[in-house]
Structure 1
Amino acid sequence: MKKRTNWRTGKPQRWLKKHSSIIFTSEEPKVSKEKKLTHVNKAGAANMVDVGSKPNTERIAEAKAEVYMRGETIALIRDNSLDKGDVIATARIAGIMAAKETSKLIPLCHPLPISQVKVEIQLDEENNSVKIASIVKTSGKTGVEMEALIGASIAALTIYDMCKAVDRGMNFRVWLATKSGGQSGEFVFEPPPSK
């Protein structure tokens, strides 16, 4: 019987667990008891983290989203037959634009010099879903996880907005798939399949 492999690296999970600082799991990540919330001061008030003394490092994050809908809705997107126009192109641009505005949307996020935002969108007709990947890169003092998550989320919401006239029952999920760089190192997460 073939060993189950990580879809990102193609290497067996057991090897990754023994030889890597990468977190790979299909379960929800657990919060360590030693870790503390960084955006709360000693008095418990919201606090923007001072990153001034941290070194600039290359940081990359990828967030993913899946939008679930009826098969008829997928067909309308595929055939570019919706009144609002090209759903995929519009959602892609919306995700890119949103990632660049993250610090204006999430109160304690730092404005960052983003070097690249890439939003990829694919139809999955077999599962009646649209798959979104938002990848953000920077060389800076703090990570771009929130930028990637905002990009994927807004792309998903744009798909909902453009298709809601024909399918108000759409729903979606969003997660951080990978991140690299900074003090906390590598992170890889693959959620369990949607039910």
Structure 2
Amino acid sequence: MSDPLTHFNEQQRAQMVDISEKNVSKRVAVARSQVKMRPETCQRIRQGAVEKGDVLAVAQVAGIMAAKKTADLIPMCHPLPLTGIDLQFMYEGEDTLAVEATVKTTGKTGVEMEALTAASVAVLTIYDMCKAMDKEMVLGPTYLVSKTGGKSGDFQRAAQP
């Protein structure tokens, strides 16, 4: 990477990047994470038989709320007016529940961090909702799937990690 680190000022101290001269564009980011669990735990989520309630409904709301609060959690993130947030849940085999978060805005900076935060908090919420029956759940990997818009152009991950 030959690009200078933009989060440091002339004194090599942290700064929030100045985006005032950047162009406004439509931006979309998709991030993914997953929870590996015992097959019995996954089955109970599918059946809606978790004592704490509807795991996916709670994780959906948690992911949306997390995307909206990303700038409060990640110090150098700009607060953004998000125009869309969606989370999709996919069962992969008998022991894995994947989460894919899509976040959109029209602005001067991207929404990768918002999508990653949404996916991360959604899987943390799944863990929280199910930890009484399965403390050995494993979260991740969490990664950016794609992003569009902005000066750096589009990105599409070639393969799942």
TM over 0.5: yes
Q: Distance in 2 between matches of 1:176 and 1:69?
A: 22
Letter in 1 for 2:114: E
Say how many residue pairs are matched: 159
Q: CA deviation at 1:138?
A: 0.5
- Structural mapping, 1:1-195, within 5 Å: 32=1, 34-124=2-92, 126-173=93-140, 174-189=142-157, 190-192=159-161
Q: CA deviation at 1:42?
A: 2.8
Q: CA deviation at 1:127?
A: 4.8
Letter in 2 for 1:166: M
Q: Distance in 1 between matches of 2:135 and 2:8?
A: 38
Alpha-carbon displacement from aligned partner over 1:135-190 (angstroms, at most 9, x marks no partner): 00111000000000000000000000000001111111110000011111011113
Letter in 2 for 1:150: T
Q: Secondary structure in 2 aligned to 1:158?
A: helix
Q: Distance in 2 between matches of 1:155 and 1:188?
A: 22
Unaligned runs of 5+ in 2: none
Q: Distance in 2 between matches of 1:127 and 1:36?
A: 45
Cα distance change of structure 1 residues 127 and 186 upon mapping to structure 2, 3 Å threshold = farther
TM-score normalised to structure 1 length: 0.79
- Relative contact order (C-alpha < 8 Å, sep 6+): which is higher? 2
* Pairwise CA RMSD: 1.0
| 1:18 corresponding residue in structure 2 | none
Q: CA deviation at 1:95?
A: 0.3
Q: Distance in 1 between matches of 2:70 and 2:130?
A: 25
Query: 4+ residue stretches of structure 1 with deviation over 2 A?
Result: none
Letter in 2 for 1:181: G
Unaligned runs of 5+ in 1: 1-31
Q: Select between 139-148 and 126-135 the one with higher mean Cα deviation.
A: 126-135
Q: Secondary structure in 1 aligned to 2:122?
A: helix
Q: Distance in 1 between matches of 2:3 and 2:139?
A: 30
